[in-house]
Amino acid sequence: MRSRTAVRRAARVAGVVLALGGLAATTACTGDDPEKPSAPATEAVAPTLPASTPAAATPSASPSAVPTSLPPAAQAGGVCASVTFAEVREALGITFEVAAASGKSGGVRTCVLLPLEQSLPDLTFVATPLDGEVSKDDFEKDFVPENADEQNGLGRAAYKQVVAATGQAGPIARIGWLGDETVYTLSLTTEKATGTPGAQAFLPKLVKLAPKLIPS
C-alpha cells in the first residue's frame, strides 16, 4: 500500500508544474542521473482517491497513479540540463527535488529548482543570450542592478547583491556574470526567517556553484 506521503508528494509535483505554468515545457523532477535522455514535458495530474475510499485503504484501492520515483533535474531540459541536485546540495546545503525549465535555444532560458513539499527556498538560473559583442562597461551599464557589489573570479565581469525580503519570502541572494556570449544570473530566494546576514552567507556559495551550471 502506498503511503499518504506519496500521495501528497505527487500532488505537490502537480501543483509546482501548474504554478510554473508560465515557464514553457516544464517538467517536475527528482534524483540525479543526467545520463538518461530527456522526456517530453507532460502535464502532471495529482491522483485522487475515490470518495468512498476509507482512511485505511486496502492495497486494491490504492491510487495506481502515484509515482514511485521521479526523473533527475537534468531531464527538465534547457539550462537545467547541466544541473544536478547533488551538486546544488553540496554547494548550498539545501535539498531540492523539483526542477522546471523554460525557453528555447537563442532566447532567454530559465531553470527553477524547488523542494518537493514547500515553496521556499527556490533557486533560479537564467541564461540571457547577447546580441553582438558586450563589453564589461556595457554589462555594468545594462545588466548590473543598482546597489550591487563587484564580484571577482567569475566570468568576464560579475556582481553580487542581496535583495530585501518581500511578502512571505526572505531576502534574495543573487549573483550575475558576463560570459562570452551570454549573461547569467543565479538567484536564491530564501525563507522568511533567513534574514539579511543569512542571505549574504549564501553569496560565496552561489559563486562556487555558478560555473557548474553553465551548459557545455
User: pTM higher than 0.75, yes or no?
Assistant: no
Q: Is the pLDDT of residue 57 over 50?
A: no
Distance, in Å, from the CA atom of 182 to the CA atom of 123, rounded to the nearest integer, reads 19
pLDDT score of 19:
45
- Residue 197 inside a domain? The answer is yes
Residue range(s) defining the domain that contains residue 151: 120-216
Is residue 190's pLDDT more than 70? yes
Is the model's pLDDT at 206 over the cut of 90? yes
pLDDT of res. 117: 87
The band of 69, judged by pLDDT with boundaries at 50, 70 and 90, is low
Give the lowest-confidence range in 39-53, 67-81, 101-115, 136-150. Answer: 39-53
Q: What is the mean pLDDT of residues 10-23?
A: 44
Is 25 inside a domain boundary? Answer: no
Provide the domain count of the chain: 1
Residue 93 belongs to some domain of the structure:
no
Task: Evaluate if residue 39 carries a pLDDT over 80.
Answer: no
Q: What is the pLDDT of residues 99-143, one digit of tens each?
A: 999 999 889 999 999 998 889 999 999 999 998 889 999 999 999
Instruction: Reply yes or no on whether the pLDDT at 53 is more than 80.
Output: no
Q: Is residue 75 assigned to a domain? A: no
- Res 43 pLDDT > 70: no
Q: Which residue has the higher pLDDT, 19 or 161?
A: 161
pLDDT band at 72 (very low <50, low <70, confident <90, very high): confident
Structure confidence at residue 166 (pLDDT): 92
pLDDT band at residue 12 under the 50/70/90 scheme: very low
- For a pLDDT cut of 90, what percent of the chain falls above it? 60
- Does the residue 112 lie in any domain? no
Residue 205 domain flag:
yes
pLDDT of residue 216: 64
- Please give the pLDDT value at position 179: 94
Q: Is residue 152 part of a domain?
A: yes
Domain-located, residue 2: no
